[in-house]
Structure 1
């Protein structure tokens, strides 16, 4: 562990970061590696073991829907009792889900695994950003969030490349589809154990903000001080829905449209993620020059133009290039968006605020794969692109309208 930290010391000023921020970043690196190959491979794996696109959409929708459902109460509880314990709980649920994937591809059990993954997402998503914000100052927050995004993105790229292994080892050792993919699920189990050990070493200073006589339905209330801001940020839900409709099914779209397997798609998505990771470390300097809001709006708007042209491309390698450019533009503003939202929400409401913001994103996103899979099952495999482009455009316009004059507290 110390060796890994020493290797990273000279990257992005990593040496200057607080110890706990380093541990959180390394934990994120490990988890991002596993998420990389799951993003590319899982939908194609489900198709190859016999499920149609409609059922695949349902399987992909379950964890996101449950994550959204539990996100707000978990955010409240995280603000009340501290963030670390909820991240550890998330790792436990993810471990159970990954173990089920490793053991079977039975549809019911895969959906049950998705339930565990959704609860894990709800526990970790709001708590992680709030805990990371605690370990930063307003002066270094942009850099640390950008560095975390960069290093996690590089790990995700490595995971996407690693995801090209199953058909290769299946061919060499004459394995069936399920057996050849088990190496990925075993890797997820190992990664979760490593991540858990890293989180256990983090010292949490925030002791919680317990309120007396809190009732169950109080867990779903909006934070008082940041209520107006959070309601405005609900426009990001349209991006969530659009992303669910096609982004989660990108690899499946390539597989159906161009008949290319994960041994080809893995490297394409890996390169895309590497480029995106490097893009994320450029955004702090861009934001200092033109401002956070303009950086977010400009890059995301350009990505929409690229997205809606992809269905017209005749070859997979051209679509792959456009995918790389689209992901570069759409995701490079991610750390700035996270830093911006964490900065305009008071510290004692950050977990709840983050949870509600992600709820607005995740709930509509959870229906997206179902919608996209339904269109694809009818043969309209390009239609999700146009729905997504429209939703993105509306969301970006409203975000600029609401926040163009907002100044981040120093």
Structure 2
């Protein structure tokens, strides 16, 4: 499971997660410091998600023309430019443009161009039985370092109090740091080879991909379902959830950072359980039955009478809601041919980004008229619908490593859609 390529990807994942961890909290604070209202904050947050989706879509269509290394280096250059631009620009419309074309992430999770590219590289050198564990490791690194990044969101307050620096200057310095992180990621990816090997076969595979062909129908079906989940999630991306906490409970940045630090820790620890649950009950069951109770808790949070109760439910939810992330990534990589994995990762990631983009815009509007937390209720309801549909449509579509769970053959699409069983494929064909 260990390899120089995996190590480099995990280093970059950690660096990016640190930047995302504090930027997702400081973005609404910075925009409000610039004189913007919650609706404008939601609009810029929406632009970041739409832009990420479009850039990732273009990369998915064109990935077969380039090596993964080339695309990853281009993504890091875009990340650096985004950070430096946000530090230098203070007007709404230019910031909206930078948010649209850049890599800024309003969520503690990963919704950027990096995600499908890194997933495709990871899936090339691990076997079926190790794949979920590798994605858990990848997700856990991201969650732990993003939690540390959330704590770092308190640095501007500390700097303003201790060395009397202007609050705006302190916030802009954090965006400069985000740009520097992009340059560090580029330096690491510059050391990647042009080819990666398969640990199962010993063969060397060109790091180029192919467009969707055999897996098109199942990938598009998954993309539609993931979009529903992401649309709900857009109402509660970390930037908007933080804005709700600021508005509802008058939290300081430092206190919000502490809260999201612990939610990140709980999420990271949950990934350890995700491996055992997935091995025992399967990837789809892991995705659904850990996600459902988390979404019920999300609906209940706005009804809590005090901040303490709201934080308690947030923490419990964070211990459940992210178990599906490595399971989902592993599942998508398992059920498509290796050559189509980059395109599949892109096609399932892009609709998520685009669908989630409407959420912050609507959440900003809802917050501008009420501090109740309607966005959390809407998000939980939509996500529950997604869970039930995913279980209904894909419970019989098994990845190759789950043959021991029952005697059914793998299906490319659900039997409810008149699919026929297909033969089991070997690791290098599946």
TM score, norm. by length of structure 1: 0.89
How many angstroms apart in 1 are the aligned matches of 2:355 and 2:385? Answer: 15
Within the alignment, does 1:327 sit opposite 2:318 as a pair? yes
Residue 119 of structure 1: CA displacement? 9.7
Residue matched to 2:8: 23
In the TM superposition, 1:9-408 aligns within 5 A as 16-118=1-103, 123-203=113-193, 204-205=195-196, 206-207=205-206, 223-233=212-222, 234-248=224-238, 249-379=240-370, 381-408=372-399
Alpha-carbon spacing, 1:82–1:224, altered in 2? closer, same or farther (3 Å): same
How many angstroms apart in 1 are the aligned matches of 2:74 and 2:103? Answer: 12
How many angstroms apart in 2 are the aligned matches of 1:210 and 1:286? Answer: 31
Name which of structure 1's ranges 106-115 and 293-302 shifts more when overlaid on structure 2. 106-115
Residue 266 of structure 1: CA displacement? 0.3
Q: Is the 8 A contact 2:247 2:371 kept in 1?
A: no
Residue 67 of structure 1: CA displacement? 1.8
How many angstroms apart in 1 are the aligned matches of 2:163 and 2:395? Answer: 57
How many angstroms apart in 1 are the aligned matches of 2:208 and 2:123? Answer: 16
How many angstroms apart in 1 are the aligned matches of 2:315 and 2:23? Answer: 18
Q: Is the 8 A contact 1:308 1:385 kept in 2?
A: yes
Q: Is the 8 A contact 1:89 1:123 kept in 2?
A: no
Residue 69 of structure 1: CA displacement? 2.2
Q: Is the 8 A contact 1:169 1:180 kept in 2?
A: yes
How many angstroms apart in 1 are the aligned matches of 2:55 and 2:11? Answer: 26
How many angstroms apart in 2 are the aligned matches of 1:118 and 1:21? Answer: 22
2:398 counterpart SS class:
coil
Higher relative contact order (CA closer than 8 Å, sequence separation 6+): 1
1:295-346 CA distance string (max 9 Å, x none): 1111100101110110011222321221121122111221111011111111
Q: Is the 8 A contact 1:30 1:195 kept in 2?
A: yes
How many angstroms apart in 1 are the aligned matches of 2:9 and 2:297? Answer: 34
How many angstroms apart in 2 are the aligned matches of 1:105 and 1:270? Answer: 28
How many angstroms apart in 1 are the aligned matches of 2:252 and 2:188? Answer: 34
TM-align CA RMSD: 1.9
Q: Is the 8 A contact 1:170 1:176 kept in 2?
A: yes
How many angstroms apart in 2 are the aligned matches of 1:18 and 1:201? Answer: 14
**Aligned pairs, number:** 385
Gaps of 5+ in 2: 106-110, 197-204, 402-430
How many angstroms apart in 2 are the aligned matches of 1:306 and 1:44? Answer: 26
How many angstroms apart in 1 are the aligned matches of 2:305 and 2:155? Answer: 27
Residue matched to 1:409: 400
Gaps of 5+ in 1: 1-15, 212-221
Alpha-carbon spacing, 1:182–1:73, altered in 2? closer, same or farther (3 Å): closer
How many angstroms apart in 1 are the aligned matches of 2:126 and 2:65? Answer: 20
Residue 172 of structure 1: CA displacement? 2.4
How many angstroms apart in 2 are the aligned matches of 1:388 and 1:122? Answer: 21
2:35 counterpart SS class:
coil
Residue matched to 2:426: none
1:370-408 CA distance string (max 9 Å, x none): 111011112254111121112101111111111111111
How many angstroms apart in 2 are the aligned matches of 1:72 and 1:85? Answer: 16
TM score, norm. by length of structure 2: 0.85
Residue 122 of structure 1: CA displacement? 5.7
Alpha-carbon spacing, 1:142–1:82, altered in 2? closer, same or farther (3 Å): same
Q: Is the 8 A contact 1:301 1:393 kept in 2?
A: yes
How many angstroms apart in 1 are the aligned matches of 2:187 and 2:253? Answer: 31
Alpha-carbon spacing, 1:124–1:151, altered in 2? closer, same or farther (3 Å): closer
Residue matched to 1:214: none
How many angstroms apart in 2 are the aligned matches of 1:243 and 1:300? Answer: 12
Residue matched to 1:9: none
How many angstroms apart in 1 are the aligned matches of 2:355 and 2:313? Answer: 25
Name which of structure 1's ranges 113-122 and 359-368 shifts more when overlaid on structure 2. 113-122
1:96-118 CA distance string (max 9 Å, x none): 11001222322223223213325
Q: Is the 8 A contact 2:136 2:275 kept in 1?
A: yes
